[in-house]
Amino acid sequence: MDRYDGARDKKIIQLKQLIAESEKIVFLGGAGVSTESGIPDFRSGQGIFNQDSGLEYRPVDIISHSFFAKHPEEFFDFYRRKLCYPDAKPNKAHKALMRLERRGKLLAVITQNVDNLHQLAGSKKTIELHGSVNRNYCLSCGAKYPLEYVLRTTGIPTCEECGGMVRPDVVLYEEHLDHENIDRAVAAIEKADLMIIGGTSLTVYPAATFAQFLPHDRVVIINKSSTYLDLQAMLTIHDSIGDVLDETIPKRAPKAKKSSEGKL
């Protein structure tokens, strides 16, 4: 963490100033945003990829399109146990971003997470690059189902309308991201005057390349571990994304300074 010699405090003050001066902010977030809500990430030592899957397959293989197609029952067994957290609640990061949006300063939240926590916090301008566990649909007729339907079934969830297989609207390995979502994300970044990247190691593409659409002197990194952009970004803070955003986006909007124009 950047706590030595007051470095962290100086960076917090700098970020507060940047947010105050900016009117078109975009936030790009990864799994580190949701870990503070009790949802594990994928790549850390305690992450999903390093956990026992409970099956004879590796977690990284299970969440692929080919595995889903060949072994749907095993996929859903793992999916329900490891990827769905219906009791998770929005944390300080989600709530701070909601406040920023309500103040009219946030263009978009671009998330790589599938947990719907930004929306639960009240965010309306969310772009879900990898889909959402809250949306599920029948592969045969397209009927839609909530997460609760998948969780209360056993084995392979099937459609009540036609009996087809119901799958989550999430992007698995070997599948393409929705081009419309990518276009929306890039369009928002190109309009931004500040981009805050938080809770992501910037190793998953195409999100890892999104910062190239904005000059790096308008990019801030907030992450516990280092990223390839740390030395290029105008500001890097190695700390909890929730703590940093909660400190820099206060619960009460700053009062506008009164103009002294025309006074003696």
Q: What residue segments make up the domains of the chain, in order of their start? A: 1-39+90-130+176-253
∠ CA 138-78-53, nearest 5°, is: 160
Please, is 66 exposed, middle or buried when counting C-beta atoms within 10 Å of its C-beta (0-12, 13-18, 19+)? exposed
C-alpha–C-alpha distance, residues 115 and 128, integer Å: 10
Task: Say what the pTM is.
Answer: 0.89
∠ CA 76-82-83, nearest 5°, is: 80
Report which secondary-structure segment, H or E, holds 22.
Answer: none
Q: How many CB atoms lie within 10 A of CB 30?
A: 28
What CATH number has the domain spanning 1-39+90-130+176-253? 3.40.50.1220
Is the per-residue pLDDT at 219 higher than 90?
A: yes
Instruction: List pLDDT tens digits, range 198-211.
Output: 999 888 888 888 88
Query: Can you give the pLDDT at residue 154?
Result: 92
CB 64 within 8 A of CB 174: yes
Active-site positions read 130
Query: Can you give the pLDDT at residue 262?
Result: 43
C-alpha–C-alpha distance, residues 145 and 160, integer Å: 10
State the average pLDDT for the chain.
91
Instruction: List pLDDT tens digits, range 130-141.
Output: 999 999 999 999
Q: Which residue has the tokens 């309308």?
A: 161
Instruction: List pLDDT tens digits, range 98-118.
Output: 999 999 999 999 999 999 999
Instruction: List pLDDT tens digits, range 18-63.
Output: 999 999 999 999 999 999 999 998 777 778 888 877 888 998 999 9
